[in-house]
Amino acid sequence: MTLPHPALSAADPELAALVGAEEQLQAETLRLIPSENYVSAAVLEASGTVLQNKYSEGYAGRRYYEGQQVIDQVERLAVARAKALFGVEHANVQPYSGSPANLAVYLAFAEPGDTVMGMALPMGGHLTHGWGVSATGKWFRGVQYGVRQDTGLIDFDEVRELALKERPKIIFCGGTALPRTIDFPAFAEIARECGAVLVADVAHIAGLIAGGAHPSPVPHADVISTTTHKTLRGPRGAMLMSREEHAKALDKAVFPGLQGGPHNQTTAAIAVALHEASQPSFRAYAQSVVANARALAEALLDRGFDLVSGGTDNHLILMDLTPKEVPGKVAAKALDRAGIVVNYNTVPYDPRKPFDPSGIRIGTPSLTSRGLGTEHMAAVADWIDRGVTAAGKEDEAALATIRSEVAELMSAHPAPGLAG
């Protein structure tokens, strides 16, 4: 199943063939990477428009280039939709992606060398929350909290103690491998006690928040940072949101502090995605993402899998494969051969190395976009179970069997944007 790309095929058949191959891969496989999704055909179209051709440094009504009659309207529309959907006073839709959005937050609220606090990467945080190998950990003094080993949950007494001792300028909550609801009021109370700016990085769960399937960080967080391409199901991009009091600082940090011209074709596609996310059908989608993840977690627990924190509240499941005696990377690569796309991931207190960790991370945003429901989750768990077992035995025939079963179910559930 590939889409027609007549101009591309004529001008560059080599690249067109690669795009077609990727379309086929995305159509045939069961994509379980929790940060990925399928955008709609409308979002795809918007992101491939002539808005691409325009330079627009500055903000609507305050640009450094002429000819912004249309672009200003596009950006104003995206901003208005973001404000309405998330219930915020201010939105900046220009950050190129989640990492630059977070960098802009540092630029707005801290000086190099200042102390910042976030969740440690191996505990489920993000690189840009002050982790050592990131610019944010090199240029700022990152102090890091984690989860408790016995529960897999954040210990707020520990976070408070660390915050009051270290006095960070910025506290980040949110992360990349957190299967449980983020307690924004608890973080807000700690940030208030130590005088820090609280940033809710909701990159993974923005779509769940928009759809009412996860509590909102409004009004608890001072700044909300999010990507637009994960559960929110928009183009690759990001947004920063806040109350009016922080609007100027954030805007100045994004441009001219960090970036040049915004990617207007992306801004347009963000506007489309925000429109889609404001529809009743998206609320149903968000609820279904969570229901599917719960059902999948139950089915995996029934098969003896060890899930960090014992399950999930959101779209994401973090599995510790130690009891199965299969390393995460071996399992992830075998599942990929079986048509099931996951990523290997550290688990909290992982005794193994980050490039060869104990776990795999899975999620339900993509399969839910294809219309799979809770009734399909037993089959998904069964494939994962058989795939991990086959990985341990290097049983390629078993993986091939799974791959054909997966392809059959996927062909009955065409992906948005790929339906042709």
Name 293's Cβ contacts closer than 8 Å, sequence gap at least 6: 312, 314, 315, 316, 317, 363, 364
For residues 390 and 398, give the distance between their C-alpha atoms in angstroms, rounded to a whole number: 6
Q: Which of 2, 54, 55, 141 is catalytic?
A: 55
Of the candidates 77, 405, 53, the residue with the CA atom closest to the CA atom of residue 264: 53
Site for ligand PLP contains 176 (CB under 6 A): yes
> Is position 57 annotated as part of the catalytic site?
yes
Q: How many chain residues are in contact with ligand PLP, going by CB under 6 A?
A: 14
Residue 396 tokens, joined: 């390629």
Question: Which of 56, 68, 144, 227 is close enough to bind ligand PLP by CB under 6 A?
Answer: 227
Give yes or no: 189 in active site.
no
Of 39-47, 200-208, 258-266, 306-314, which segment contacts ligand PLP by CB under 6 A? 200-208
346 binding ligand PLP? (CB under 6 A): no
Alpha carbon separation from 154 to 148, 180, 212, 300, 308 (Å, rounded):
6, 9, 23, 23, 12
- Rule CB under 6 A: which of 4-23 touch ligand PLP? none
Catalytic residue, chosen from 236, 243, 303, 333, is 236
Q: Does 236 participate in catalysis according to the annotation?
A: yes
Least distance between ligand PLP and beta carbon 45 (Å): 21
Please provide the DSSP assignment of 32-45 as one string: --TT-----HHHHH
Q: How far is the CB of 134 from ligand PLP (least distance, A)?
A: 10
Q: Which of 91, 110, 203, 347 binds ligand PLP (CB under 6 A)?
A: 203
- Contacts for 188 with CB less than 8 Å, ≥ 6 apart: 198, 220, 221
In the bound state with ligand PLP, the residue whose beta carbon lies nearer, of 33 and 379, is 33
With contact defined as beta carbons under 8 Å apart, do 372 and 306 qualify?
no
Q: Is 263 in the site for ligand PLP (CB under 6 A)?
A: no
Of residues 22 through 51, those in contact with ligand PLP by CB under 6 A are: 35
Catalytic residue (choose from 2, 45, 54, 57): 57
Which of these is catalytic: 75, 201, 320, 350? 201
Q: Answer yes or no whether residue 201 interacts with ligand PLP by CB under 6 A.
A: yes
Give phi and psi for 80, each to the nearest 5: -60, -40
Site for ligand PLP in 97-156 (CB under 6 A): 97-99, 102, 126, 128
Which residue of 58, 118, 130, 174 would you call a contact of ligand PLP, by CB under 6 A? 174
Of the two residues 168 and 174, which places its CB atom closer to ligand PLP in the complex? 174
Q: Is 364 a catalytic residue?
A: no
Contact criterion met (CB below 8 Å) for 238 and 95: yes
Burial class of residue 126 (count of CB atoms within 10 Å of its CB; 0-12, 13-18, 19+): buried
Q: Among residues 102 and 368, whose Cβ is nearest to ligand PLP? A: 102
Between the CA of residue 189 and those of 157, 185, 186, 273, 346, what are the distances in Å? 12, 6, 5, 33, 29
Q: What's the half-sphere exposure (Cβ side, CA atoms, 13 Å) at 224? A: 32
CB of 36 to ligand PLP, least distance (A): 10
298 belongs to the catalytic site? no
The token pair that represents 217 in the structure block: 């960080």
To ligand PLP, the closest distance from the beta carbon of 207 in angstroms equals: 12
| Residue 368 touches ligand PLP, criterion: CB under 6 A | no
By beta-carbon proximity to ligand PLP, the closer residue of 68 and 242 is 242
Please identify, using beta-carbon distances, which residue of 131 and 255 lies nearer to ligand PLP: 131
Residue 285 has phi, psi (to 5 degrees) of -60, -50
What is the C-alpha separation between 40 and 283, in angstroms, rounded? Answer: 16
Residue 67: exposed, middle, or buried by beta-carbon count in 10 A (0-12, 13-18, 19+)?
Answer: exposed
Which 3 state secondary structure label does DSSP give 341? Answer: strand
Is 175 a binding residue for ligand PLP by CB under 6 A? The answer is yes
Nearest residue to 110 via CA among 73, 70, 90, 137: 137
Which of 204/246 has CB closer to ligand PLP? 204
Annotated catalytic, 230? yes
Active-site residue set: 55, 57, 201, 227, 230, 236
Residues that bind ligand PLP (CB under 6 A): 35, 97-99, 102, 126, 128, 174-176, 201, 203-204, 227
